[in-house]
Chain A
Amino acid sequence: MESPELKKLDCSSLNCPMPIVKIAKAIKTMEIGEQVEVVATDPAFKADVEAWIRKTGHKMISFVEEGKSKTTVIEKTK
């Protein structure tokens, strides 16, 4: 079930550092508690987004990898 606040961010075929840049920009426009679903194909995406989460303190709700496509849901916590 999807919560009504879930935003979508398509970063498919974008390369490092663009998915992280787009996530950072999207998070800035969001309210605390809102979530964003990000789809990316960058091979380094998993390692990069995990590092970004560790450093910025936002919350990763889920991470699903299907072939080249990776989907993650991030919640803004502050």
Chain B
Amino acid sequence: MQLENQELKAYIDQLVEEKVNEKTHHFQDELKKLQESLPQNLGIQQKDKITMLITSFELDKVMPAFIIANGAASFGMEVTLFFTLWGINALKEKSIYSGKNIKEKMITMMLPSHPKTTTISRLNMMGIGTGMMKSMMQENNIETLPDLMDLSIEMGSKLIACQMTMGMMGITTDEIRDGVEYGGVALYIEEASESGVTLTF
């Protein structure tokens, strides 16, 4: 059938167009939503999180944690480090003895009072090994642990100190450096459950 009347043809085209749009607009909306959510699903958007559990204070455990933390922060990731047990000692900036009982005083004496005075976990040899390791790091212009820690706070990493450990060892908040939050396992799990990467040191 040939349509002689151009106006009629245009009118029918318009009607068909409207009808098709009406029937398919649900699909179009769905498609739009899917397209918008695609980058998030593929992880292209910077919503990645990383959490680390630090249970040691030694140089060779804490340094990699902070190097990875600073690297991850440079990737735009949200970084959380949870310090528990021996790990708490990595966050200390001084040792306080007053007000502590004999056991707490003893443990305070045996543990480092600042990341500067921390040792390596193997081949320490009464401090000779640690001294050698530190001089090798300096020769290679590797950042010191205190610098890496300051940088991580500057980059927005969240440092959480386990309050249960602090209570057990008698460590007070006055001994802990600035920029540290205090909490328990729930605070860590909240962050870890949203993280694509979790590490233990």
Contacts and interface: CB of A to CB of B under 8 A. Distances in A.
Interface string B52-82: 0000000000000001101101111000000
B126 to A, nearest CB: 28
Nearest to B140: A15
A14 B70 CA distance: 14
23 contacts: A14-B141, A15-B140, A15-B142, A15-B143, A16-B67, A16-B71, A17-B74, A18-B143, A20-B71, A20-B74, A20-B75, A21-B70, A21-B73, A21-B74, A21-B155, A24-B73, A25-B74, A52-B74, A55-B75, A55-B76, A56-B46, A56-B75, A56-B76
A24 B141 CA distance: 20
B151 interface: yes
B8 interface: no
Interface string A2-31: 000000000001111110110111000000
B43 to A, nearest CB: 9
A33 interface: no
Contacts of A16: 67, 71
A20 B68 CA distance: 11
A56 B141 CA distance: 27
A2 to B, nearest CB: 26
Assign chain A's interface to a size class.
10 to 19
Interface residues of B, number: 16
A6 to B, nearest CB: 21
A57 B74 contact: no
A36 B142 CA distance: 24
B76 A17 contact: no
A57 B44 contact: yes
Interface in B136-152: 140-143, 151
Contacts of B142: 15
A13 B142 CA distance: 9
Contacts of A20: 71, 74-75
Nearest to A23: B74
Given A16-B71, A21-B155, A55-B76, 13 more contacts: A15-B140, A15-B142, A16-B67, A17-B68, A20-B71, A20-B74, A23-B74, A52-B74, A52-B75, A55-B75, A56-B46, A56-B75, A56-B76
Contacts of A56: 46, 75-76
A16 B44 CA distance: 24
A47 to B, nearest CB: 12
A17 B141 contact: no
Nearest to A19: B74
Which of A16, A17, A23, A52 has the most chain B CB within a 10 Å cutoff? A17
